Structure 1
């Protein structure tokens, strides 16, 4: 399994709606960061939407990744037929092999049967171009529903992008989702986390931690995925708890990335 970084490694630096840094990092900055860490994989998620970039930036990304020996993976949100088709074209253009997709979008929550139909229309394209779709487990659907989608499409080129924390939003823990989704997992989002009771004792708070410093049992998770030998790549994602100022938050995010990758690199090939 190959380790990489993502736009969600640097979510604050890329920019969160309503909280944009003065100079957001770009797709080319991510290439340079990967090189500095000795990594050869970059996943560009929906927080830096490639379909909004001009052709010159896409070409520059392709060229710089090629020069640096960086493999690209790309991501999108809102799995409509048109959006999927567009992003498959971008995936091919950028010589990527993985297209990670979050099914839901703003005001868009399709039925499982609709998702299956949308993806099935593109299976011949996936097979011809050796592109894999990884559906990310997210807040609305249960693990069994994601499994139902993968089984309904029934293609070796459609699997799961397994996020280690997202399914808590659907009331499911990591052991539960791994049990059902590990056989289908083609990409892993490593996101460490902590859970703490709020001071008033009326509930819990879930937030991020640097990898290896939270509750994520990474050796166990990697062992579970290795049984199926289908997950080929993993990227670091971070839920960095913000500080009072953007500048301090960005500094914290950088430190977390450094600490996390120092921990993770012993588990992965370069």
Structure 2
């Protein structure tokens, strides 16, 4: 496997969090800065949202491709919610960048709360599948795999269904280990269901805080939270040992999974409660209390210096953890 860095781990320092507000970072990092961060840590891959590049001109993309090659970094490119016109531009751009994988999303849904987005999730999935079919030949032409992420919205069954319907070696899955819990699945069961389809992995960890409606998931450094990361790596070795794995410590806002509310479940088909029990057991194992302060520095209204330090420290601690467990070589 190749261990890399998702640029979104530094969503504040890159200028995305708070963009256009008085809380935005004063001097955003650019892609070159992120390449330097990954290289200094001895990483082997980097995941870059194409929207962060000033433009997608061939000269710029080829120059960045050369830079990544010199640094020994395998690129993964990011698009957004599946859009045919956007992908007609992003697929060739990913190829020019040297990326074999282009991550895509199927909705803007967060916290698993589908009902706020649509009353007919099945129809939405069918529409997204049709859009992917429209561009899959272009993906094949450019030798780019479209990796659909479980982005706090999709279950393993949803992703399996999409991949089966598109029916191409150029469709796959971007697996986020924490997002599974947000739709009521354990990451371990979801990985086993999706294993052969996984083309990119997002490595994250979380701390769990109970609420009257469910649980809040709060970002933390790898190895400092409730996820069994060693188990995830064992599954990677078993199912997809050559995959790229990106450190992605993205959200500065706690994700409130209201899985105990009837309304939350309106966006899902009926299921046997035994299918959800493994996830509920993982949530319930937390030792934290409802009154514990779960807020990140961003949510507490902290200033720029503290939020930057928060991102830097979590990244450094994650690198140290991956070295400690032998996934990254010790320097």
SS in 2 for 1:160: strand
- Give the drift of 1:181: 1.9
- Give the drift of 1:268: 4.8
Counterpart residue number, 2:305:
247
Change (3 A) 1:60 1:252: same
- 1:33 has 2:37 as partner: yes
Partners of 2:191 and 2:71 lie apart in 1 by 34
SS in 2 for 1:227: helix
Partners of 1:261 and 1:37 lie apart in 2 by 7
CA RMSD for the aligned pairs? 2.6
SS in 1 for 2:64: helix
Question: Which deviates more from structure 2 when the two are superposed, residues 64-73 or residues 130-139?
Answer: 64-73
Change (3 A) 1:204 1:228: closer
Larger Rg computed on CA atoms: 2
Partners of 2:216 and 2:94 lie apart in 1 by 37
- Give 2:85's match in structure 1, choosing from 69, 82, 92: 82
- Superposition TM-score, scaled by structure 1 size: 0.87
Question: Which deviates more from structure 2 when the two are superposed, residues 7-16 or residues 56-65?
Answer: 56-65
Contact 1:188 1:231 in 2 (8 A): no
Partners of 1:9 and 1:184 lie apart in 2 by 24
Partners of 1:181 and 1:224 lie apart in 2 by 11
- 1:193 has 2:206 as partner: yes
Partners of 2:2 and 2:241 lie apart in 1 by 12
Counterpart residue number, 1:144:
157
Partners of 2:186 and 2:297 lie apart in 1 by 24
- Give the drift of 1:105: 4.4
Matches within 5 A, 1:1-270: 1-15=1-15, 16-17=17-18, 18=21, 19-45=23-49, 48-50=51-53, 53=55, 55=57, 57-105=60-108, 111-197=124-210, 203-229=214-240, 232-238=243-249, 239=251, 241-242=296-297, 244-265=302-323, 266-268=326-328
Runs of at least 4 residues of structure 1 off by over 6 A?
A: 106-110
SS in 2 for 1:28: helix
Change (3 A) 1:147 1:269: farther
Partners of 1:54 and 1:101 lie apart in 2 by 17
Partners of 2:242 and 2:171 lie apart in 1 by 12
Partners of 2:240 and 2:329 lie apart in 1 by 15
Question: Which deviates more from structure 2 when the two are superposed, residues 22-31 or residues 115-124?
Answer: 115-124
Change (3 A) 1:185 1:264: same
- Give the drift of 1:144: 0.7
Contact 2:35 2:68 in 1 (8 A): yes
Partners of 2:202 and 2:247 lie apart in 1 by 6
- Give the drift of 1:223: 1.8
Partners of 1:128 and 1:228 lie apart in 2 by 27
- Give the drift of 1:253: 0.8
Partners of 2:93 and 2:173 lie apart in 1 by 20
Partners of 1:268 and 1:256 lie apart in 2 by 16
- Give the drift of 1:54: 6.0
Partners of 2:242 and 2:33 lie apart in 1 by 26
Partners of 2:225 and 2:197 lie apart in 1 by 25
Contact 1:7 1:30 in 2 (8 A): yes
Q: What are the ranges of 5 or more consecutive residues in structure 2 without an aligned counterpart? A: 110-116, 253-295
